[in-house]
Amino acid sequence: MANIDVDPPQDLITLFGWHDGYDTPANGTYHGWLCPAFEIITLDEACARHAYHQDDLASRLRYSDGQSEWFPLLRADAASCVINYSDDPATRGRIAICDAGVVEPVPEKRPDSLIEPVEMWLSYFDAGWWRWDGSRWIDDCDVQHAAEHPWDI
């Protein structure tokens, strides 16, 4: 990551130290999903997504609040779950979603650590709101509970 000028926060080191992506088995069933929305990617893919984001940033005018200092952790189609790697202690390690070049949610609603969404995902699993159908996660979370998590990761 030093080669691409990323000083990784601890959550980034922990995630890729635990699991560097996932290979799809020969039967084609993909078990790399960490939750219904996000799947685990390799560090190489994360670096490639980061490079794309940096290139895309140079061509857009709607970026603000240090959005160039985000590194992908997980993917969901074109979106990524990202972590802030800035030197600013107020934003470093914060988690968000980068979708179509926009980082959501608003800064004050971003989780301070990857621990927060993982704890939420575990609570959804324990509550029976997520079920495995043999090839993917199905999300049966009720609207009221989902509304309690405004960062929707």
- 66 found inside a domain: yes
- 133 found inside a domain: yes
Please report the pLDDT score of residue 24 as a whole number.
Answer: 61
Dihedral sign for Cα 18, 24, 26, 27, please: positive
- 152 found inside a domain: no
Q: Name the residue range of residue 46's domain.
A: 2-147
- 153 found inside a domain: no
The stretches in the chain having pLDDT less than 50 are: 61-64, 66
Please report the pLDDT score of residue 147 as a whole number.
Answer: 62
pLDDT 10s digits, 134-144: 777 777 777 66
User: 73-95: string of b/e by CB count within 10 Å (b at 16+)?
Assistant: bbbbeebbbbbbbbeeeebbbbb
**CB neighbours of residue 42 within 10 Å:** 14
pTM of the model: 0.80
pLDDT 10s digits, 52-62: 777 766 565 44
Domain count, the chain: 1
Instruction: Quickly list H helices, the chain.
Output: 10-18, 43-58, 115-126, 143-147
Q: Which residues pair with 71 in a beta bridge?
A: 83
Could you tell me if 22 and 39 are in contact, meaning their C-beta atoms sit under 8 angstroms apart?
yes
Please report the pLDDT score of residue 59 as a whole number.
Answer: 60
Q: Are strands 70-76 and 79-84 parallel, antiparallel or unpaired?
A: antiparallel
Among the listed residues 45, 69, 46, the one whose alpha carbon sits nearest the alpha carbon of residue 57: 69
